[in-house]
Amino acid sequence: MSDPLRLGIAGLGTVGAGVLILLQEQQDLLRQRCGRALQVTAVSSRDRYKNRGVDLASGVTWHEDARALAKAAHVDVVIELIGGAEGIARQVVETALDAGKHVVTANKALLALHGSELAARAEKADRALCYEAAVGGGIPVVKAIREGLAANRFERVYGILNGTCNYILTKMENTGDDFDKVLLEAQGLGYAEADPSFDVDGIDTAHKLSILASLAYGTHVDFPGVYIEGIRHIGALDIQFAREFGYRIKLLGLARRTARGIEQRVHPCMAPLGSPISEVGGVTNAVVAVGNYAGQSVFEGPGAGAGPTASAVIADIVDIARNQILPPFAAPSSRLERAPASPMDLHQGAYYVRLTVLDQPGVMAAITAIMAEQGVSIDSIIQRGRAPGAGVPVVLITHETEEARMNQVLAQLTALKQVTEPPVRIRIEKL
């Protein structure tokens, strides 16, 4: 039996405490699978005296400064669970790698903004930088794309990467309630933060998508190249109309290689009913990877929570204990491509557009004239209600067109005096 692998945990919040509990409860199983014991020798957190459900009194050094933990002689692997793209979290990871420590992190923001640089740093030090828990919580999607599907060129990688948004959209469909009411409920249940912007505005999904795109396409992580749009503008009417047209609205992150570069998009989508991604409800996450040999692989499971995320953290630790050290983004950093971002204006697709218009003669003629002028054809149209002088919904489904053309259409529709609210545009995806 080899010497124990000594672990230092920086950050003892929900996930950090979950890691401690899992290591304690599964220690015999993990020793058997690793061929050596996994031993926590150091921890660091803001609240030293909080009850975390596990004994830290014996054999564990408490570090007030996580950066001291990162270079401590009695630590082999630094587990960064502080969070945030800058500040102490980044300093801990950089200090650990420079001190010759392996690093495991659940920090998607750090990897999205600095992943390529940190990967190069890890490779120079001949140490691991592992992050299974950063994308999809307990779903082993990083390992699947990097290793299990390594023989494939990926035609598409996409998925539901944020449980808060998926919960909100699912609840809106089930209850008929609008976004604001469901968001308040999600905050009350702990599914959404007091400031939900990170989730509902698509930033969290974009962080994770940029990591998946790098893995799938062998490119430097390019978070600035992600087109991002959140779900605040989705209304109960849109959920209802989507169902009538045979779709369900999901916030998706989508990546693919095009002739113009890597396309990375985060926005609400009309997902066809019956497609695997449309059936994923609640706080669950799902990732679909389409390989040229393996075909479509679907990975579904809990995207957050102490247990699932801790499980993913431990999976990385087990790899290190087995001495399975791989380039963080599948290919060595020196071989990662600096691919351009495919311009969103050139995206081709069909669109759902909901207008609120005054019920007056000539409104439909004005709308269709604008569409015709921009060369955008209408596949189907629904007008509901009769309320002379008041706003009524008009819903259009377009044939495939270019994003730039659609933007021109929306700008002109918004300028019509008969249109009383900003148009709602949702892209329709073939999945």
Domain end point (choices 119, 134, 149): 134
Residue 377 has pLDDT above 80, yes or no: yes
Write down the pLDDT at residue 183: 93
Got the DSSP string for 152-212? Answer: --EEEEEEE--HHHHHHHHHHHHH---HHHHHHHHHHTTSS-SS-HHHHTSHHHHHHHHHH
Torsion angle, CA of 98/308/135/70, rounded to 10 degrees? -10
Q: Which domain holds residue 373?
A: 348-428
Tokens linked to 38: 């996994």
**Same domain membership, residue 294 and residue 177:** yes
How many domains does the chain contain in total?
3
**Same domain membership, residue 279 and residue 231:** yes
**Same domain membership, residue 296 and residue 352:** no
Structural domain includes residue 339: no
Structural domain includes residue 169: yes
Structural domain includes residue 249: yes
pTM score, whole prediction: 0.92
Q: The domain spanning residue 117 has which CATH number?
A: 3.40.50.720
Structural domain includes residue 318: no
Residue 1 has pLDDT above 60, yes or no: no
Residue 390 has pLDDT above 80, yes or no: no
Residue 80 has pLDDT above 70, yes or no: yes
Domain end point (choices 134, 153, 173): 134
CB atoms within 10 A of CB 67: 17
User: Active-site residue among 101, 108, 171, 208?
Assistant: 208
Write down the pLDDT at residue 237: 92
CA-to-CA separations, 140 to 6, 191, 357, in angstroms, rounded: 24, 22, 47
What is the percentage of the chain residues whose pLDDT exceeds 70? Answer: 97
Domain end point (choices 73, 106, 134): 134
Q: The domain spanning residue 386 has which CATH number?
A: 3.30.70.260
Does 208 qualify as catalytic in the annotation? yes
Structural domain includes residue 337: no
Write down the pLDDT at residue 49: 67
**Same domain membership, residue 219 and residue 242:** yes
